[in-house]
Structure formats: C-alpha cells, structure tokens
Chains A and B, each alone.
Chain A
Amino acid sequence: MMKRFRLNQQEIVFAVFALLFLVFSIFLNGFLTAENMLTLLQNVAVLGILGLAMAIVVIGRGIDISLIAALAVPPGLVLQMVQNGHSLPFSLLTAVLLTIAFGLVNGWLIAYAEVPSLFATLATGLLLAGLGQAALFQLDVVQWSAGMNGFERLGQGTILGIPTSIVMFAIACIVVAILLRQTRWGAYIYAIGDNPYAARVTGIPSRPIIVLQYVIAALIGCFAGLVMAASVNSMPTRVFNSTLIYDVILVVVLGGIGLSGGRGGVLNVIIGTLLIGTMLNGMTIMDMSYAGQNLIKGVVLLLAVITDSFLNPRNEETAQQGDI
C-alpha cells in the first residue's frame, strides 16, 4: 500500500516536470533553445550535486543546512590561496582537509554531542561562513587567477558533446548511488534513517556512520563549489546569504526523499533536480524578480513539505520527543 503510494509520488513529480517543460516550451519564448537548455543544465548541475549531498544526510534522518558554507568557503579558499601564490594541488589539499574537518565537526556535534542536526548545521554553517568572511577572503567575490588555468575545464566545455558540469553531476550520481546501494555503509545509512534506535540495538555503529554522512556531504558540497567556481571563473562567497539551501531542500523533498529518513535514492534527486531546474529557469525567462521567485519557491516548498508529511507520516514511536 505504502510502496504503491510512493511510486505514485515519483510518477506524479515526473509528470509535473514533463507538463511544466511542455508548457514552458510552448508558451515561453526562448525556453526550448539549445542555448537555454545548456544554461538550464549547467545551473541544475550544481543544484543536483548539492541535492545528492543533502539526500545522503536526509536518508539518515538528518539535515545539513551548512552545505552552502561547504560549497562557498573551501573552493573560495582554493582560489584565494592560488591567488596568493600557492600551488593548485596544495590549495586543493588544504581545502579538502578543511572540508573534512568541517564535516567531522558537524558529525561530532550531531552524533556525539547529540545536538539536533538542523540546529547544529545552522550554527556551523554560520561559523564557517563567518570564518571565511573574517579570516580567509579579502573580497566577497574571490577572483580567478592565472594559477588556476586549466581548472576551469571542470565546469566549462564539453566531454563527448555533453557539457562538463552535467558529466560531473552524472559522476557524482554514480558514486553516490554505489555508496548507497552497493556498500555496507549505505545500507547502514538507510537503517539508521529508518529507525535509529533499532539500528543501534542491532549493533550498527550509528555514531561513526552519522559522522561519515556529514563528512561525505561536506565533501560533495565542496565538489559542487569547485564545479561552480570553474563554470563562472570566480567564487561569489556571498552565495551563502542566498536562498540556495532552500532550493536544495526543495530538490530532495520534491524528489520524494521523505524528511523522516530511510527512503529514496539518487533517482529521486535527479527527478527533483529536473523539476526545480525547469521551474527556476522558466521563472528567470519570465523575468520574475528575485523576491518573487523566492516567494513562489517558498510556497512550493511548503506545499511539498505538507504533502510529504501526509505521504511519509512521522512514526510516533521513533520520532524523538522534542524532535524539532
């Protein structure tokens, strides 16, 4: 019964996407052009990669609000360090180490200090963004420098005729799909998301796995940031102040990964990404103001969350008291 229902949801979301795409193609001038499709896919790629990171955490019954900080700060650090004369590999290594440390802090706070995930990542995100603002970057937009040459191929150009950023998204999809479906760790993540107490009692190392989730999420976030920086040749660190994180949540929730955990997979992220990407692209072409777009996104997200709460009701037995 339940399974039948969730399949329906995926189908519905996909149908909505197809319908929206059709409507935009017919009624919006300049929507169904090769150039626009390329922009759409490129914009969607970063969002999709972030959606994968969020999906891992949400499947494990958590949420990671600090993804945008992981997207903005470590890649920004790479650009800044190269600008300051360090070599690219050394800068990349530093950024990756920073990202891992950040993921470890997140995971430790949530798994060991038992701070609710929403709350912990809200604060750590601010902390990392504040660190970048206060100590790492000289300007809000970190510029590309000569030392970075060659690296822009991560986000620009094509491989076998497909835009590179899409290829990156595809690679990320495959890696995450293998992690979730083929490895023991992936099975553990689903188990923890389904019922954390049962998982713990079964002997699954819940806490290390939760830490792992956040480290992987932060690394994927950093990867998304590198792709983004490569495709626009700079790192606008003020992206942290934007509402990008809500788009990511939107992707995950609309795609059908229940916020109560234990459900969904990579396919859901792809479907969600397509829908949101189309929607955002259409609104941009319609020349809707930024605030207006946010308003619509907010309402859609709200409807999605309400629907989610009906389709995947919280299990009163395993939902924690004070689970905010």
Chain B
Amino acid sequence: MRDTITRLRYRYWPDHLLGEILSKRWTETAIPVILLLIVGFAFSRSIDNFLSPASLADTARQAGEIGFIALGLALVVIVGGIDLSVGSIFALTDFCALYLLDVAGWSVPAVVLATLLCGALLGAVNGILVGYLRLRAFITTLITLIIYRSAYDLLIQRYSNAIASAFPDIPSWDFIGAGSVLGIPTVALAYIVIAVFGHIFMTRLRPGWHITAIGGSRRSAYNSGIPVRRTIALCYVASGALTSIGALFFASRLGTVGGDIGVGLEVIVLTATVLGGITLGGGKGSVAKSAVGVLIVLLITNGLTTMNARGGVNRMALAGILLVAAMVDIRWQKNRTRIISKVYVAPTYHELPPPPPTEIGQGGPFEQNDKLRDVEAIGLGRIEAPEDVILDRHDNLYAGSRHGDIMRFLAPDYQKMEVFAHIGGQPLGMAFDREDNLYVCIGGMGLYRITPGGTVEKATDETNRSMRSVNDDSRLRLADDLDITDDGLIFFSEATVRYEMDEWPVDGLEARGNGRIICYDTKTGTTRTELRGLKFPNGICVASDGQSILFAETFGCSIKRYWFAGPKKGQVEVVMDNLPGYPDNINLASDGNYWLALVGMRSPSLDLAWKMPGFRRRMAKRVPVDEWLFPNINTGCVVKFNEQGKIVESFWDLHGENHPMITSMREHRGYLYLGGILNNRIGRYKLDNADPNFVQYDKRWGKQS
C-alpha cells in the first residue's frame, strides 16, 4: 500500500522540474515580474483609478523618462561599475535643452542633438575617470554628482527666470513632450524602440557581449583581447547620452528648471536596476530586467504619493526595497549553484524484483565461472578507458581513449599502437558503415564520423527539442552507443538529458527515465528522437531481422526491442528484464545470437534504495557527493543471449584481475575482444566452437576487396 502511494506520487509528481526551472536564466527575471504583478494588483485594489487609461498614460510617460536613465545605468552596472551622477546629468541636460530652446532660440533638431552631445560629454568625463584612470566608480561618480549639481545650481541662478518666462510654442517640441501615437505616449514609443535595440545589442552584437564579459571578469576579458578600458569608458558615455534622452522628454513635458530636478534620482534608478535583478558588480543583466525594475519602483512611489504618504515614508520605502533587493541578489548570486545542485537531483521510484542468482552452486544461466581468467591483454598500460572496441575488415583493432583519441592496434599481433584520429571528447560506442567510415558517439559532443583516412567530421550534435522538456534537450549530452541499419539509419542512444557525462552515477541514483534513442539518417542528414523516457539507454544492436534494434537500459536492467520498420513499426517489446547486473553494449555473435556486457552487478542496497526515493533525496541534499551511493561497476561479466531472450552462456573473471568490469565486446575471427571504460587494457579471449572466419561487417554487408 505504502509502496503504491510512493510509486504513484513519484510517477506523477514532476520533482525534476524544480531544479531544471531554477537553473534557467529566465527565472531571475521571473521573480521581479511576479513582484511587479503583486505590486500592481495590490495598488489597483487599494487605490481607485490606479489602472485607468489616464493614470496609465501618465505612468508610461514617467516610466519612459526614468526608463532611459535606467537603461544607461544598467549598461554601466553590467560592465561592472556604477553611475551615481545620472541625477545631476539629468538636471544639467534638462537645463541645456531648455536654455538652447528658450534663451538661445535654437531649432528643435539642433536642441535635441546638442542635448544628446552634452549628455555624452558629461558621461565621457566619468568614462575617462573610471575607464582610463581606473578610479573607483562609486566614489568618482559621487564626486561628479556634486560637481554637476553645483554647476547646475550656478547656472539656474542666472538663467531660471529667463527660462521660466519663455513659452515656446513649437508643435514638434510639444509633440515630444505630450504627443502620442495611437494612444501611446511618444516617450514610451521611443523607449520601446531603444529598448528593443538595446536587447539586440546586448544579446546579439559583439560589443554587447564584450560588455557582459568585462562585467563577468575584467581580467579574463582583458586577457582575451577585449579593449577593457575603452569599452568601460563608452558605457559611461552611453549612460550620459541615454540620461539626456530622458531629460529631453522631461524638458519638453514640463519645461521647468526647478532646484530639485534630478535630486535623488540616482537612488530611484539604482533601486529599479537592482530590483529588476541586474547584479551589482556586473556580468549579469538585461533590458527586460531594467524595464521591470523601473515599473515596480514607479508603481510603488506613485502609489505611495497617491496615498498621501509623507516624504520620509517614500524615502524609507525606497531605501528599504533597495536594501532587501541588493541583499537577496547578492545572496542568490553567491549560493545559486549550491541551491540548484541541492534541488536538482530528483530521485524517483524504481522497483526491481529480486535478481536471479549468480553464486556458484546455485545453478542458473548466470552462475559464476572463471572463463576469462586466461584473457590475453592488448595494449596493457598503454591505453586508458577503451569504452568500446571494434575491428575493421582488415582485422585492425580500434578503441577510444580517455584523452579523446581513437587508438588503432595493427593486425596481426596488435603490438603496434597508433593514434588513428584525435577528436577531443571521450569516445564511447563505435560502428562502421558500408563505406568503412567509423561512426563514434562522443560523450558531451555528439555523433562523429571518421573516414578511413582518419578525417574527423561531425555527423550530428542536436536533435529536435521536445516541447514538454524544461531543459533544452536539443543538444546531445551523452551519446553512448550506436548501430547502423542496412538502409543507412544510425540509431544511437543518449544515456541522459539531465546530466553531463561525468555525472552518470547521479543519473543512476535518480533512476528516472532521462535517456532516449535518436535516429540519424545518413542519407538526409536529419536527426530525430525516436524513443524517450528510457532509464539510461546504452548498448544498441541492429537485430538479425533487419527491422528492429535491441537496446539495453542500464539502470532498467533490461533489454528491449524497438521495431523501426516492418509490420510492428514503432513498437517496443521487452526481450529480457530483471537482469542481475547493469547491461551495457550489445553486439552480434557469429552463431546469430547476441553478446551482452554487464558492466556491474546489482547490489541489494541500491535495489532497496531505488524503492525509497525520499531516502535518496535526503542523501543528495545532506551528504557530500563522494559519499553517495554508487552503482557497483567493479564486477561484471559477458553473456550471450538468443533472439528469444534466453541466456546461452556467461563468462566471468572470478578473480577480478584481468577484466572485472566490461563495457563492451566484439567477436572477430574466433576471438572475443573486451573493452572496459575503467580498464587500462583490451582483452582478447579465444572462443571455443566459434566461426574462425566471422567478420561482423563482412557478414552483414558482404565481403569487400
């Protein structure tokens, strides 16, 4: 009963989604958006007309003006600095625009240009000081804040009367300030245009990437040749220019040069920036975050003003929000990976019946023996981690190595070893096609093709993305083994879509169906996913009927058959289940049966733990990784099974000296060649009663030259 409840709970409740969602970049934007919705909802309930069109248009105008400044500040914060002088630049450029228009009598386009230039110049002062002289951004812009502010105070002492007494009646100027297109205020439209450009700039263009790179790590950016000082300086220039755009709209809307314009603006904009989730210290941030932050801050300050709160309350609210947001942001940035790694592992219920016996004297097909005692070692100590081994038509032996190479041992004595091809990722399963191209699954990279001449080509490294997956599963994380059909379809397994190659035991702990089988069509070059939800699919072998493949599910402890053609096309059928170990590669035997490697044997403890998901989750959360349960891969064996799923024979290394762990095997001319991902050798075992002329690819596709 309890088991049933546990099973149902873990089958239908998607535990794994939490970790996957948290590891998405957009969750950092989602939190401010949710906050925005809450704030908007709260104020719309407590204040009448809060969401009326007139009120919204008013908010939009303010949001546009402040939004421009926030965009500039976002840029500066992302590059790793801060700009406190924006309030004073705002005031000065506001003055500049009104002075040129009202007192100097310039035309509107000239005023706009001159104001932008003025803002850029004021920003350039910051840029030179912070970028080139490498002063501290905070203290420097604090000082320019005072200098600009006192310059502004001095200027308005002289000119405020002249500006206040002028009433320019210029339609284009009024349109900037109060006009709207299709009911949307001009300032909001302009903001949207610039924000969209800013988004493209930050995410798609080279300078945007440079800015993020410098914020992420200034020294690395410098070492990779990015012009750090110039880029930083230009960010401050951009901040000044964007601030002046905001000031232009403000000037055309209100047309005043009061003494308190722009005072404390930097705190509002800074709050908006931090609240939106742009990380102080740089490297992270987006236009969307900036916009969301501005909206939240404006809603709060406007809401408080409407509710007639005293000035001090407004100040406190702003400072309080700023502090909390900064604190949350800093703690989250610091602990993000730790939190995600704690919740990412989401074990599920996995029940297996008691395994068949393997002990000597108990009988049964898996009874242990010592047949592999006299295995001959090839390349002992010279090769590392040959997960799969394969032989070509000329009897040469190929194996992958931990160093990202395909090694070749030359026939007939396999003493001479050479690097056949260098790939760079760990080679796993291998198969030859009709033209003797070697196809290799590379963990973390995908499916690669090596021509007989040794040229490495990428076959595929992506498949169709499934709509229901939160993780982007279009890239191949752990392509494992493959086989090629007579029609040139390559079926290969991807063991897991949730973990990287080095984390494969964690996938075993999770025991969720995270793997899939993918088909690559060599004729069309297309890749598509055939089967999903498999428990660590591993070995793949095209069956003798030519219409189906056999595949092993390592942590499912089963062998299944999938029909890719013929009357049963698309069906999956269990060939063997409840194996006593974890099945790995499958290959053809000379007598028409199949070889299967068991990489390790099941243990009662993991079998029990698989039925206790809560226990494994607690383990993943509380115990350090190197003390977690680990699937046993110390002892395994090779078995031969027939088309019906009956075990014919088994081969053990009882002493555990030569080949305790086996991930693959190939039969070739009366010998069985053994590979193991943790071994430093390739085994060669003389088979009794085997066809001494058996060559796998000659048999399937006929002899060639």
Residues of A whose CB lies within 8 Å of any CB of B are 63, 109, 113-116, 118-120, 122-127, 129-135, 243, 246, 249, 259, 289-295, 297-299, 301-302, 305-306, 309, 314, 316, 320-324
Contact = CB atoms under 8 A, between A and B. Distances in A.
A323 B80 CA distance: 8
B323 A115 contact: yes
Contacts of A320: 281
Interface in B324-347: 326-327, 330-331, 334
Contacts of A316: 219
B184 interface: no
B257 to A, nearest CB: 14
B139 A292 contact: no
B31 interface: no
Nearest to B327: A113
Most chain A CB atoms below 10 A, which of B135, B142, B149: B142
A324 B281 CA distance: 7
Contacts, number: 149
Contact of B150 (A132, A135, A295): A295
B315 A243 contact: no
Interface of B: 80-82, 129, 133-140, 142-144, 146-147, 149-151, 153-154, 157, 215, 217-219, 267, 280-283, 309-320, 322-323, 326-327, 330-331, 334
A297 B281 contact: no
A129 B317 CA distance: 12
A302 B145 CA distance: 11
A119 B135 contact: no
Secondary structure dominating the interface of B: helix
B319 A124 contact: yes
Question: Closest 8 A-B residue pairs measured CB to CB?
Answer: A322-B281, A134-B312, A133-B312, A130-B315, A291-B153, A130-B316, A298-B147, A294-B150
Given A123-B326, A126-B319, A297-B146, A324 B280 contact: yes
Contacts of B157: 289, 291
Given A115-B323, A324-B81, A134 B153 contact: no
Contacts of B309: 134
B324 to A, nearest CB: 9
A306 B310 contact: no
Contacts of A118: 138-139
A302 B139 CA distance: 9
8 contacts: A123-B322, A126-B318, A127-B323, A133-B311, A289-B157, A291-B153, A295-B147, A306-B133
A131 to B, nearest CB: 6
A291 B91 CA distance: 14
Given A118-B139, A246-B143, A322 B282 contact: yes
Contacts of A249: 139
A266 B527 CA distance: 73
B320 A127 contact: yes
Contact of A126 (B81, B136, B217, B315): B315
A109 B135 contact: no
A127 B150 CA distance: 25
A131 B316 contact: yes
A132 B312 contact: yes
Contacts of A134: 309-313, 315-316
